[in-house]
A and B are shown apart, each in its own frame.
Chain A
Amino acid sequence: MFRFVLHRLALIVPTVFGLTVVAFGLVRLIPGDPVRVMAGIHGVSPERHAELMHQYGFDLPLWQQYLGFLNGLLHGDLGTSLITRSSVLSDFFSRFPATVELSLVALLLALFIGLPAGMIAAVKRGSLFDHAVMGAALTGYSMPIFWWGLLLIVFFSGYLGWTPVSGRMDAWFFIQPITGFMLMDTLLQGETDAFWSAVRHLVLPAVALATIPLAVIARQTRSAMLEVLGQDYVRTARAKGLAPWRVVGLHALRNALVPVITVTGLQVGLLFAGAILTETIFSWPGVGKWLVEAVYRRDYPSVQGGVLLVALMVMLVNLSVDLMYGLIDPRIRHRRS
Chain B
Amino acid sequence: MRKSRILGAALVAALFLPLAAGAASKHLVFCSEGSPSGFNPQFYDDGTTFDASSRPLYNRLVEFKLGTTDFEPGLAESWDISDDGLTYTFHLRKGVKWQTTPWFKPTREFNADDVLYSFNRQWKKDHPWHQVGGGNYQYFAGMGFPKLLKAIEKLDDHTVRFELNAPNSAFLPDLAMDFASILSAEYAEQLMEAGTPEQMNHNPVGTGPFVFVNYQKDAIIRYKANPDYFVERPKIDNLVFAITPDASVRLQKTKAGECQVMSFPNPADLDTIKKDADIELMEQAGLNVGYLAMNVEREPFDNVKVRQALALAVDRKTIIDVIFNGYAEIASNPIPPSVLGYVKDLQDYDYDPERARELLAEAGYADGFETDLWAMPVARPYNPNARRMAQLILSDWEKIGVKTKIVSFEWGEYLKRVAAGEHQTAFLGWTGDNGDPDNFLYTLLGCDGVASGTNLARWCNDAFNELVTKAQRVSDRDERAELYHEAIRIFKEEAPWITLDHSTVFLPVRKSVKNYVMDPMGGHYFHAVDVD
Residue-wise, chain A 33-52 has the 8 Å CB interface mask toward B (1 for contact) of 10111111111111010001
A32, A157, A193, A283: which has the most chain B beta carbons within 10 Å? A283
Q: Which of A12-20, A290-298, A322-330 contacts B (4 or more CB under 8 A)?
A: A290-298
Identity of the chain A residue whose Cβ is nearest the Cβ of B34 in the assembled complex: A293
Q: Is the CB of B413 within 8 A of A296?
A: yes
B249-270, CB under 8 A of A: which get 1 and which 0? 1001100001100000000000
Instruction: Determine the residue in chain B with the shortest Cβ distance to A171.
Output: B242
- The answer to whether A285 and B217 touch (CB under 8 A), given A158-B252, A170-B258, is yes
Contact A52 B45 (CB under 8 A): no
Which A residues are in CB contact (< 8 Å) with B16?
Answer: 172
Residue of B nearest to A96 (CB): B217
Decide yes or no whether A112 CB sits under 8 A from chain B.
no
B235-282 contacts to A, CB under 8 A, are 240, 242-246, 249, 252-253, 258-259
Task: Check if B3 sits within 8 Å of A165, measured CB to CB.
Answer: no
A86 at the interface (CB under 8 A from B): yes
Assembled-state Cα–Cα distance A193/B9 (Å): 13
Looking at A33, A43, A55, A297, the one whose CB has the most chain B CB atoms below 10 A away is A43
Residue B202 CB within 8 A of the other chain = yes
* Stretch among A77-85, A210-218, A246-254 lining the B interface: A77-85
- State the Cβ distance, B526 to closest chain A Cβ, in Å: 15
A246 CA / B184 CA spacing, docked (Å): 72
B222 touches A174 (CB 8 A): yes
Q: Is B198 an interface residue (CB 8 A)?
A: yes
When the two chains form their complex, are residues A165 and B133 in contact, meaning their CB atoms are under 8 A apart? no
* Chain B residues, CB < 8 A from A48: 141
> Is A167 a contact of B1 with CB atoms below 8 Å?
no
Cβ of A28 within 8 Å of any chain B Cβ, yes or no, is: no
Minimum Cβ distance to chain A for residue B213 (Å): 8
B372 at interface (Cβ–Cβ under 8 A)? no
- Contact, CB under 8 Å: B216 / A177: yes
Q: Provide the residues of chain A in CB contact with B131, threshold 8 Å.
A: 55
Bound form: Cα–Cα A84–B3 in Å: 40
- A52 touching B201 in the complex, CB below 8 Å, given contacts A43-B449, A165-B249, A295-B410: no
A171 vs B249: C-alpha distance in the bound complex, in angstroms?
14
> In the assembled complex, how far is the CB of residue B73 from the closest CB belonging to chain A, in whole angstroms?
27
A219: interface (CB < 8 Å): no
Chain A: minimal CB distance from B206 (Å): 18
Contacting pair B416 A41 (CB below 8 A)? no
Q: Which residues of B contact A46 (CB under 8 A)?
A: 451
Which of B1, B134, B201 has the most chain A CB atoms inside 10 A of its CB?
A: B134
| Complex CA distance for A39 and B2, rounded to whole angstroms | 46
Q: In the bound complex, what is the Cα–Cα distance between A172 and B249 (angstroms)?
A: 17
Q: Interface residues of A, CB < 8 Å — how many? A: 54
Please indicate the chain A residues that have their CB under 8 angstroms from the CB of B217 in the complex: 91, 94-95, 285, 290
Report if A296-B134 is in contact (Cβ < 8 Å); known contacts: A43-B453, A85-B38, A290-B218: no
Whole-angstrom distance from the CB of A333 to the nearest CB of chain B?
42
User: Are A171 and B452 also in contact (CB < 8 A) when A36-B419, A37-B412, A296-B411 are?
Assistant: no
Residues of chain B within 8 A (CB-CB) of A295 are 410
CB nearest neighbor in A for B133: A85
Q: Contact check, B216 vs A44: say whether CB atoms are below 8 A apart.
A: no
Q: How far is the CA of A35 from the CA of B412 in the complex (A)?
A: 10
The answer to whether B136 and A52 have CB atoms under 8 Å apart is: yes
Question: Which one, B4, B29, B43, B443, contacts A161 given CB within 8 A?
Answer: B4
| B415 CB-CB contact with A under 8 Å | yes
In the complex, chain A residues whose CB is within 8 Å of the CB of B136: 35, 38-39, 52
Cβ–Cβ < 8 Å partners of B240 in chain A:
171-172
Residues of A close to B15: CB separation below 8 A: 172-173
- A207 vs B117: C-alpha distance in the bound complex, in angstroms? 52
Answer yes or no: A147 CB below 8 A from chain B CBs.
no
Bound CA–CA A310/B485 (angstroms): 57
Contact B243 A285 (CB under 8 A): yes
Q: Are B410 and A167 in contact (CB under 8 A)?
A: no
Docked CA distance A304–B98 (Å) = 39
Nearest to B38 among chain A residues (CB) is: A84
Nearest-CB residue, chain A, relative to B131: A55
Q: Are A55 and B134 in contact (CB under 8 A)?
A: yes
Q: A161-B3, A171-B259 are in contact. Are A298 and B413 (CB under 8 A)?
A: yes
Query: Which residue of chain B is the closest to A35 with respect to CB atoms?
Result: B136
The verdict on A285 contacting B218 (CB below 8 Å), with A86-B201, A171-B259 known, is yes
Candidate in B4, B412, B419, B451 with the most chain A CB atoms within 10 angstroms: B412
Given the complex, which residues of B lie within 8 Å of A55, measured CB to CB?
131, 134-135
Type the 1/0 row for A158-192, where 1 means its CB is closer than 8 Å to any CB of B: 10010011111111111001000000000000000
Q: Is A289 interfacial (CB-CB < 8 Å)?
A: yes
Chain B residues near A80 (CB, 8 Å)?
134
Top 6 A-B pairs, shortest CB-CB distance: A42-B142, A161-B1, A43-B453, A285-B218, A43-B452, A296-B410
Q: List 6 A-B contacts (CB under 8 A).
A: A42-B454, A43-B454, A161-B4, A289-B218, A298-B412, A298-B413
Q: Which residues of B contact A (CB under 8 A)?
A: 1-4, 8, 11-12, 14-16, 27, 29, 37-38, 43, 45-46, 131, 133-136, 138-139, 141-143, 198, 201-202, 214, 216-220, 222, 240, 242-246, 249, 252-253, 258-259, 410-413, 415-416, 419-420, 430, 443, 449, 451-454
Q: Which residues of A contact B (CB under 8 A)?
A: 31-33, 35-46, 48, 52, 55-56, 80, 82-86, 91, 94-95, 98, 157-158, 161, 164-174, 177, 193, 283, 285-286, 289-290, 295-298
